[in-house]
Amino acid sequence: MARNKKEKKKFSLGSLFYNNRFILPFALVASLVLWLSVNITQNAERERTISDITVNITTENTAVGALGLDVVSGGVGERVNVTVSGSSYVISSLSASDILITASLSEVTAPGTYEVPLSATKNGTNTDYTILNITPPTLEVTFDHIDTAVFPVTASAEGASAAEGLIAESAVVTDTANSEVEIRGPRTEMEKIASVQAVAQVNKTLSATESFDAALRLLDENGEVIDPSPFTLSFTELKITVPISKSKEVPLRATFTHAPAAYESTPIGYTLSIGSISVLGQPEIIDSLEYIDLSPIDFDNISAGSLSFACTPKLPNGVRSLENVDTVTVTINAGAIAERTFDVSNFTAVNLAANLETNFTQTLRNVTLAGPEAIINAINADAVYAEVDMSGRPAGEHTVPVRIKVNGYDTVWQVGTYNVLVTAVERQG
């Protein structure tokens, strides 16, 4: 063959991509195929289940609410699953917040437990899909009247004991603000509550009063613990105190007012219907008690015909009687008591302002004195005088109580009360 005859060219697939007449139509076809593939995939109908959609059933502004009923269990915080269908592009972007679950309460007419049917509605801006079903389709929901009541709180210190010689008293709520608790809950459950206790686990021996953390416990009429979960309590934790006390037998002592000078340091003789009482209180107070005073007897009320008096023990703060003694009879026992009546015209002003002097124009008639018979019979009328206390009184006319006294005798006293009209004037010169 002739050498100048042209040789055949070899075919190369890769060379096509350098051929403008090939690459342009190829790119257009490839783009169309890719677009069709993506579009078909995104718009293909499919199903999807959206999980954990929260259900919150409310009776507000419903016929059920008008009956005074509310949800007490089920229907609040429950979660359901919803199956939807639609294009992949639409349903792939859905979340639990895009679907709203509601319940039909048309069958709820009285307290009780109902199977409430659920329905789902679209709650988002994207609504181009279909809701197929809800799982579960119903919820068991209990409805009841919701009541509020206030219960007293008692304290219980479990395992508390006192050291030898001391007494562990019943525990008390430390803060009076926690002495009552407000409880809100379903009526049928509220009716089971008989009492409320604040319980602390102490489990040790105490030598002094001490406070402990406690938790509230609801009890029924049999003392059984009630599950607190259906209820809302105004508080659940608090402190209780275990008082540690001591008891002691303490003698009683009569006291007097307006006693004559002789009986101020050495009381007049008397007997008591009860000589001592057992008391309970804080150990440091009990240890310091030597006696317990009775309510005072006014000497003005003691006479030959009135020698017995009903008095009340005056217990110190924090101390109480273990014998529930309310009154003690005090009988004056000072030998023979006699009485005499005098007219008194002698007056002595005491505690009078330095710039004043007094004028008395009145005689006190029928003033009764009492005392030992021998002393009363020996008194001279001239020795009897009325002491007039002018403390804080300015110039002018005043009616003032007086104390009757006898010169040379300090064991006699007046019976009853007496007043005198006195005029206080500016001192001259």
More confident residue, 33 or 113: 113
The pLDDT value recorded for residue 324 is 85
Instruction: State the DSSP H helix or E strand holding residue 378, giving kind and residue range, or none if neither.
Output: helix 373-378
What is the b/e burial string over 403-415, where b = at least 16 CB atoms within 10 angstroms of the residue's CB? bbbbeebbbbbbb
Residue 394 tokens, joined: 């300015």
**DSSP for 53-119, written as a single string:** EEEE---TTSHHHHTTEEEEESSEEEEEEEEEEEEHHHHTT--GGGEEEEE--TT--SSEEEEEEEE
The pLDDT tens digits of the residues spanning 63-99 come to 999 999 999 888 888 999 999 999 988 998 899 999 9
Spell out where 208-307 has E strands.
Answer: 210-219, 232-233, 237-242, 244-253, 256-257, 270-272, 276-281, 292-293, 297-298
pLDDT tens sequence across 358-398: 999 899 999 999 999 999 999 999 999 999 999 999 999 99
pLDDT in tens, 24-72: 666 666 666 565 545 554 557 899 999 999 998 988 889 999 999 999 8
Q: pLDDT at position 265, please?
A: 86
| pLDDT of residue 112 exceeding 70 | yes
CB atoms within 10 A of CB 397: 10
Task: Write down the pLDDT at residue 244.
Answer: 97
What is the pLDDT of the chain when averaged over all its residues?
91
> What CA–CA distance (Å, rounded) separates 371 from 404?
13
CB 122 within 8 A of CB 98: yes
What pLDDT, on a 0 to 100 scale, did the predictor assign at position 43? 57
pTM of the model: 0.61
**What's the half-sphere exposure (Cβ side, CA atoms, 13 Å) at 54?**
5
Q: CA-CA distance, 374 to 330, in Å (whole number)?
A: 24
Residue 73: predicted pLDDT: 87
How confident is the model at residue 89, as a pLDDT? 85
Mean pLDDT on 134-152 = 95
User: Dihedral through CA 395, CA 397, CA 400, CA 405, nearest 10?
Assistant: 80
Q: What is the pLDDT of residue 12?
A: 58
Domains and CATH numbers, the chain: 45-136 (2.170.120.30), 147-242 (2.170.120.40), 247-332 (2.170.120.40), 337-426 (2.170.120.30)
